[in-house]
């Protein structure tokens, strides 16, 4: 038997496979098509203080080996997520719940994290300072070490749950930002969020997405994500959740060898709703193929 269990800051996951925030709803919706308890964890839809309708439509554009989205953090707001969405998920799911928090100010991040800290069913808080699809918030905090550290310090002052800061790839030096988060007290780093992209409708002769530019995700960005996980692993001592273009069990192994302790699956869920289940089911076979008995033994192995 192979060991697929991993540990994130004292929180044990039965396997490292986690659907990424924004690509899996609040999780319970998928329980209608398969038993979501096969998943190591679920990162639920990004949550802000107030309800948001999101950006105008159209908000999705297909690309070769990926897609562009500009959803704009559509969500029902922190109170409804706490009182309705998380209880619905916990009623059908027994494993790790990761709450993804977004904001438009440090005070909003702090407010939402303090609220979610009181929710016993939430195991880990993932703070999104990397959303490219909202104005005056999200990514503006993730593009400078100083701002990233300020958000980290603020949320760590109001929570005793493990905090993972989710970073944007749309920077020139992701390592300095990751280190600033670590110095600010982050328990871990999630990376990467979407890159940026554009599609033009040849008939209408204008951008496909109403917001013009959106977040580019999917299999095409896997090498970029892998590179950044590899770079950040060499610079910090806290655990990493690797995200970006993951579509197969082999991708999970590769991410972990680059330095990730757990791995999130994003856009692939939109192409194949069974993607995470299939990856979990295939993982032991792929481990045996590459003579891996324990996933913990390969974390960062590519650096040796």
What's 46's domain CATH number? 3.20.20.70
Catalytic residue among 9, 63, 113, 131: 131
Domain count, the chain: 1
Average pLDDT, the chain: 95
Tokens of 286: 């792929």
Residue 207 belongs to a domain = no
Distance CA 213, CA 165 (A): 24
Residue 288 belongs to a domain = yes
pLDDT of 139 > 80? The answer is no
Q: Are the C-beta atoms of 48 and 102 separated by less than 8 Å?
A: yes
Write down the pLDDT at residue 132: 53
Residue 208 belongs to a domain = no
pLDDT digits (tens, 9 = 90+) for 87-115: 999 999 999 999 999 999 999 999 999 99
Write down the pLDDT at residue 142: 83
Residue 67 belongs to a domain = no
pLDDT digits (tens, 9 = 90+) for 1-21: 899 999 999 999 999 999 999
pLDDT digits (tens, 9 = 90+) for 164-216: 999 999 999 999 999 999 999 999 999 999 999 999 999 999 999 999 999 99
Q: Which residues of 19-57 are buried (b: 16+ CB within 10 A; e: fewer)?
A: bbbbbbbbbbebeeeeebebbbbbbbbbbbbeebeebee
Would you tell me how many other CB atoms lie within 10 Å of the CB of residue 175? Answer: 16
Write down the pLDDT at residue 17: 98
Residue 84 belongs to a domain = yes
Cross-strand pairs, 265: 19
Write down the pLDDT at residue 137: 53
48 CB contacts (<8 Å, ≥6 apart)? 73, 75, 77, 78, 101, 102, 103, 104, 108, 112
296 CB contacts (<8 Å, ≥6 apart)? 3, 5, 6, 7
pLDDT category at 143 given cuts 50, 70, 90 is confident
Full residue range of the structural domain in which residue 149 is found = 6-54+72-195+216-303
Residue 1 belongs to a domain = no
Distance CA 87, CA 89 (A): 5
Distance CA 29, CA 292 (A): 33
pTM given for the model: 0.96
Q: Is 181 a catalytic site residue? A: no
Distance CA 234, CA 54 (A): 37
């Amino acid at each position: 038997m192979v060991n697929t269990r991993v540990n994130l800051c004292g929180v044990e996951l039965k396997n490292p496979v986690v659907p990424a925030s924004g690509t899996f709803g609040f999780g319970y919706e998928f329980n209608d098509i398969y038993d979501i308890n096969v998943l190591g964890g679920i990162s639920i839809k990004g949550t802000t203080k107030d309800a948001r309708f999101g950006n105008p439509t159209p908000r999705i554009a297909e690309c070769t080996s990926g897609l562009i989205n500009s959803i704009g953090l559509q969500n029902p707001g922190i109170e409804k997520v706490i009182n309705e969405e998380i209880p619905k998920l916990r009623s059908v799911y027994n494993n790790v719940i990761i709450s993804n928090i977004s904001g438009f100010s440090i005070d909003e991040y702090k407010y939402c994290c303090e609220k979610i800290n009181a929710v016993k069913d939430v195991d880990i808080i993932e703070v999104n300072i990397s959303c490219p699809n909202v104005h005056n918030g999200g990514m503006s905090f993730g593009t400078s070490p100083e701002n990233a550290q300020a958000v980290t310090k603020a949320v760590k002052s109001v929570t005793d749950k493990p905090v993972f800061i989710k970073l944007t790839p749309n920077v020139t030096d992701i390592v300095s930002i990751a280190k600033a988060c670590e110095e600010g007290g982050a328990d871990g780093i999630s990376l990467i969020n979407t890159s940026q992209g554009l599609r033009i409708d040849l008939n209408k002769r204008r951008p496909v997405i109403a917001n013009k530019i959106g977040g580019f995700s999917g299999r095409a960005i896997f090498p970029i994500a892998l590179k950044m996980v590899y770079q950040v692993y060499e610079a910090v001592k806290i655990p990493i959740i690797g995200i970006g273009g993951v579509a197969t069990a082999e991708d999970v192994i590769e991410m972990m060898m680059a330095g990730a302790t757990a791995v999130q699956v994003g856009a692939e869920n939109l192409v194949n709703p069974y993607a995470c289940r299939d990856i979990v089911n295939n993982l032991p076979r792929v481990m045996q193929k590459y003579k891996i008995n324990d996933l913990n033994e390969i974390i960062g192995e590519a650096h040796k």
